[in-house]
């Protein structure tokens, strides 16, 4: 079974950790996010420090620095995805282009609609729009 | 003269929807952009409303070619949260399915590459051999895609002794055609002229941009999850990881052809030493305990990871899927630069892209 280490950090440790990892040629597995049970945003940067995965968590922040300068597209694509689906702001990230969601949907409904709203509410909303 | 050449989202040289914009000077591409998202189905969101068994069915539908990889990785993540110990025989059956899947995926890609290169007789020859692997998978699982071989805590179907011997025989049968395919790929003039020196990704770029799988190994980066972070009894088997340094499309053909030999090596060891015992822990619907885990698997295209958050209930709290094409597709603009427009289709296809995986 693969090991998974959870490490809680603060916002200003994100960039130094990324720089250290990049220097050692460690792969950035993914930047994940979810809203935890207390309703706070839990963002995690997962690095493949073989054979384990080291996961650095920042809880309760919706504006965090981007590590796109360090990891290039390996970081900017996940950051753009999280920006669209969760409306997390990454400082220094170019979000002028869409990644996954259609442009008209981003304009009319805004970012962060998909993953933040519960599925039952989305279904109700779509039903109402279909009736109109 | 400078032009902007759009390719896609639907194009004969691409199997799946992707849109590329090429900024050209005459025949040469100076800058390129890739746009994805034409297949976004919101699978991560749907998974939050489903229990573990339903999610296995759902994540298998993320991708048609590496469907077993998704189900396997999701099951590994849930087992990591719950602390489930999978029976040895179940793990071996998972490995056998995964390696057969890798074989058929690599044959498929080699065929498509030859088709784009313009070597159609080779394409038909390779896909003919691929049918042998597909027949084995169908016999083993009942399906040609979406094998449904994984359940939480083991494998869903057993491999009988007759079938075990049949797959071993097929490993011998595959050897001859594979030798022939590799020989043609390495020596044929058409393939060499279309692929050598085309779409180069240097080792530094591969590391910086985070390329994974055969795509990174063709650029001289020695990574493979099966060896670096062993799972599912992969530590029991002896196999090599082919690495080529040149980083062009030719290197990607060579790496994938050589990887087929390693898959056969693993298959043979797994089948010869298939342990006795139960294949799973019964068909009970499991609760996903409180916790979080990331599972990684070397899918045919590279490192695949699933992050699962449990909330001590039947349904997932959050599932996040991160696929190899997510890492490899952003490297495409770097490879397109200073190549000709005629090679663009081949270069995009050379990463073995899967956009339904990427968009989820």
Render pLDDT for B224-249 as a digit per residue (tens, 0 to 9): 888 888 888 888 888 889 998 888 88
- CA gyration radius for chain A? 17
Render pLDDT for B265-322 as a digit per residue (tens, 0 to 9): 998 899 888 888 888 887 788 888 888 888 989 889 888 889 898 888 888 888 888 8
Q: How far is A11 from chain B (nearest CA, A)?
A: 21
Give chain B's domains with CATH numbers. Answer: 42-359 (1.10.645.10)
ipTM greater than cut 0.85 = no
Tokens of residue A20, six digits = 């250290």
How much of chain B, in percent, has pLDDT values that exceed 70? 99
What pLDDT is stored for residue B339 in this prediction?
A: 87
Distance of alpha carbon B103 from alpha carbon B253, whole angstroms: 14
> Is A39 within 8 Å of chain B by CB?
no
Superfamily of domain A4-131: NADH:ubiquinone oxidoreductase Nqo5 subunit (3.30.460.80)
What pLDDT is stored for residue A132 in this prediction?
A: 64
SS3 B189: helix
Q: How far is A44 from chain B (nearest CA, A)?
A: 11
pLDDT over 70 at B256, yes or no: yes
Pairing of β B150-151 and β A27-35: unpaired
Q: Which residue of A has its CA nearest to B83?
A: A1
Distance of alpha carbon A71 from alpha carbon B209, whole angstroms: 7
Instruction: List the Cα angle B110/B115/B40 in 5-degree steps.
Output: 75
Q: Which residue of B has its CA nearest to A34?
A: B318
From first to last of its 132 residues, chain A has per-residue pLDDT tens of 778 888 888 888 888 888 888 888 888 888 888 888 887 888 888 888 878 888 898 888 888 888 888 888 888 888 888 888 888 888 888 777 778 877 777 666 666 666 777 777 777 877 887 776
Cβ separation of A98 and B37 shorter than 8 Å? yes
The stretch B200-215 carries a mean pLDDT of: 87
Render pLDDT for B87-100 as a digit per residue (tens, 0 to 9): 888 889 999 999 99
> Is B290 within 8 Å of chain A by CB?
no
Domain ranges, ordered by start, for chain A: 4-131
What pLDDT is stored for residue A84 in this prediction?
A: 83
Q: Which residue of B has its CA nearest to A25?
A: B207
The stretch B219-227 carries a mean pLDDT of: 88
> Is A71 within 8 Å of chain B by CB?
yes
Chain A neighbors of B35, CB-CB under 8 A: 97
Distance of alpha carbon B244 from alpha carbon B240, whole angstroms: 13
How much of chain B, in percent, has pLDDT values that exceed 90? 5
Distance of alpha carbon A72 from alpha carbon A75, whole angstroms: 6
What pLDDT is stored for residue B347 in this prediction?
A: 87
Render pLDDT for B326-336 as a digit per residue (tens, 0 to 9): 888 888 888 88
The structure's pTM equals 0.89
pLDDT over 80 at B52, yes or no: yes
């Amino acid at each position: 079974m693969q090991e998974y280490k959870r490490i809680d950090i603060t916002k200003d440790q994100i960039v130094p950790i990324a720089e250290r990892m990049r220097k050692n040629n460690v792969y950035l597995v993914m930047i994940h996010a979810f809203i935890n049970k207390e309703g706070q945003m839990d963002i995690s940067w997962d690095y493949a420090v073989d054979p384990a995965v080291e996961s650095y968590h920042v809880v309760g922040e919706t504006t965090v620095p981007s590590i796109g300068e360090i990891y290039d597209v390996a970081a900017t694509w996940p950051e753009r995805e999280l920006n669209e689906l969760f409306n997390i702001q990454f400082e220094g990230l170019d979000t002028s282009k869409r990644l996954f969601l259609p442009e008209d949907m981003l304009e009319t409904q805004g970012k962060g609609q998909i993953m933040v709203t519960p599925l039952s509410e989305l279904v109700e909303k779509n039903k109402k729009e279909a009736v109109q | 003269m400078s032009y902007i050449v759009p390719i896609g989202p639907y194009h004969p040289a691409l199997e799946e929807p992707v849109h590329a914009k090429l900024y050209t000077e005459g025949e040469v591409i100076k800058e390129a952009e890739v746009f994805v998202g034409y297949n976004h189905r919101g699978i991560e969101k749907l998974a939050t409303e489903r229990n573990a068994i339903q999610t296995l069915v759902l994540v298998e539908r993320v991708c048609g070619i590496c469907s077993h990889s998704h189900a396997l990785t999701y099951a590994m993540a849930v087992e990591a949260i719950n602390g489930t110990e999978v029976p040895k025989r179940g793990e071996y059956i998972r490995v056998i399915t995964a390696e057969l899947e890798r074989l058929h995926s690599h044959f498929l890609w080699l065929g498509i590459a030859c088709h784009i290169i313009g070597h159609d007789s080779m394409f038909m020859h390779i896909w003919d051999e691929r049918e042998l692997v597909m027949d084995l998978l169908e016999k083993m699982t009942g399906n040609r895609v979406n094998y449904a071989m994984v359940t939480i805590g083991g494998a869903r179907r057993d491999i009988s002794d007759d079938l075990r011997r049949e797959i071993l025989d097929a490993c011998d049968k595959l050897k001859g055609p594979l030798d022939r395919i590799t020989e043609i790929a390495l020596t044929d003039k058409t393939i060499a002229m279309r692929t050598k020196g085309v779409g180069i990704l240097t080792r530094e770029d591969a590391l910086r941009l985070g390329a994974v799988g055969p795509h990174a190994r063709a650029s001289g980066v020695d990574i493979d999850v099966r060896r670096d972070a062993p799972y599912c009894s992969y530590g029991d088997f002896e196999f090599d990881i082919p690495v080529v340094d040149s980083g062009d499309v030719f290197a990607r053909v060579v790496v994938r052809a050589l990887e087929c030999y390693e898959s056969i090596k693993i298959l043979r060891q797994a089948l010869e030493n298939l342990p006795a015992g139960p294949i799973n822990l019964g068909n009970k619907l499991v609760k996903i305990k409180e916790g979080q885990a990331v599972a990684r698997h070397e899918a045919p295209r590279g490192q695949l990871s699933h992050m699962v958050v449990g909330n001590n209930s039947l349904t997932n709290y959050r599932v996040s899927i991160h696929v190899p094409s997510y890492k490899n597709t952003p490297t495409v603009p770097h490879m397109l630069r200073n190549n000709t427009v005629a090679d663009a289709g081949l270069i995009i296809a050379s990463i073995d892209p899967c956009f339904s995986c990427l968009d989820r």
